[in-house]
Chain A
C-alpha cells in the first residue's frame, strides 16, 4: 500500500507544485478558478487519453513517439509560461498596486488566462498519464492486494495535492506587493527547467546531441531522487547530472524570457 502511495505521489507531486505556483501567480484575477479548473480537468482527461493510447504513442516515430510527445508537451508549457511572464512584465506592476482594477483589464482582453490553463493541463497530462498507467496496471493484473494498492494510489494522489496546496498557501503569505515578483521568478525558473527536460527527451530520441553526457555530478551532494532533489527538480530544474544541451536550453530560456520581459516593459 505504501509502495503504490509513494509511486503515485511522485507522479502527482510535480504537477501539483506547478498548479500551486500558477494559482499564486493569478491571485486576485477574476475567473481564474474557472480557467485553472478547466486546465486541471483537461489535464486529467488528457492523461487518461495518453494512457489509453500509450501503445500507439510508444510505437510512433520508429519507437520514439513518446520522447517526441513528451518534448512537445514540455515546449508548449515553456511557450505558455513565457507568454504569461511577458504579459506580466507589462501589467504586473499595476496588478500589484490595484488588485481590484485587475478585473477590468482582464475583461478588456487583458491577461489571457487560458495560457496558464494550458500550462496546468500540460503538467497534469504528462505526469498524470504515468500515474494512470501505473494504476491501470494494478487494476488489470488483479490479485488480493488490488484494493490496497488502489487505496495507496489515492493516498499518494491526496499527498501530492496537499503539497501543491501547501506551496500555494505558503506563497500567499508573501505581501501582495512582492507576490508577483516572487511568482514571476518561479515561473521563469519553472520554464527554464521544463525546457531543459524537453531537451533531455530530444536527446533520448537521438535528434539532439547531448553536448557532454554529464557536465557535473552532484548526486552525492543532492540526489535527484531524494525528496528535496525532486522539489528542486520541479521548481528550478535541478539536475544532478545534466547534459550540456540541457544547460544550453536552460540558459537560453532564462535569458530569453528575462530580456523579452525587460524589452516589453521598457517599450511602454
Chain B
C-alpha cells in the first residue's frame, strides 16, 4: 500500500515536471476590456497551437473571463491584466464572456 502510494506520488511529480509549462514564445493575442466590452470581440487563432491571451481590464471593476467552451475562468482585477493560455485547439468557434457582465462582455475565438 505504502509503496503504491509513493509510486503514485512519484508519478504525479514526474507529470508535473514533464508537463510543458507556459512557453515564452507562444503567440500572444491582446484583448482589452473597457466599458464591460471586449475589444476585439473576435480573435482568430491558429489551430493546434498553444496561444496566450493577454487581457487588459481597463474598467474600474473586476471581471471574470469565463468560457465553458475553453475550460477557462479567471478573475482579472480592475486595472490589471491577466494571462490565459489556451490550446492546442481544434478548428472551431469558442465562446467566451465576462461572467459579471455577460450582456455586453462577450466574444468568440475562431480557431482556424
Contact = CB atoms under 8 A, between A and B. Distances in A.
| Interface size bracket, A side | 20 to 34
Interface in A214-266: 214, 219, 223-225, 240-241, 243
B72 A207 contact: no
Given A63-B82, A214-B90, A208 B16 contact: yes
A207 B16 contact: yes
A209 interface: yes
A214 B64 CA distance: 22
Given A134-B100, A203-B71, A206-B85, A58 B19 contact: no
Contacts of B85: 204, 206
A207 B19 contact: yes
A63 B63 CA distance: 15
Nearest to B1: A263
Interface in B79-112: 80, 82-85, 87-90, 99-100, 102-103
Given A203-B71, A208-B16, A241-B71, A58 B100 contact: no
Contacts of B21: 206-207
Given A58-B76, A133-B62, A209-B15, A240 B68 contact: yes
Contact of A136 (B62, B64, B103): B62
Interface string B19-49: 1111000000000000000000000000000
A200 B20 CA distance: 15
A54 B100 CA distance: 15
B7 interface: no
Given A133-B62, A213-B89, A225 B77 contact: no
11 contacts: A3-B103, A7-B100, A133-B75, A136-B61, A137-B63, A206-B19, A206-B22, A206-B85, A208-B16, A219-B68, A241-B68
Interface of B: 15-16, 18-22, 59-64, 68-69, 71-78, 80, 82-85, 87-90, 99-100, 102-103
Interface of A: 3, 7, 54-55, 58-59, 63-64, 66-67, 130, 133-134, 136-138, 140-141, 200, 203-204, 206-209, 213-214, 219, 223-225, 240-241, 243
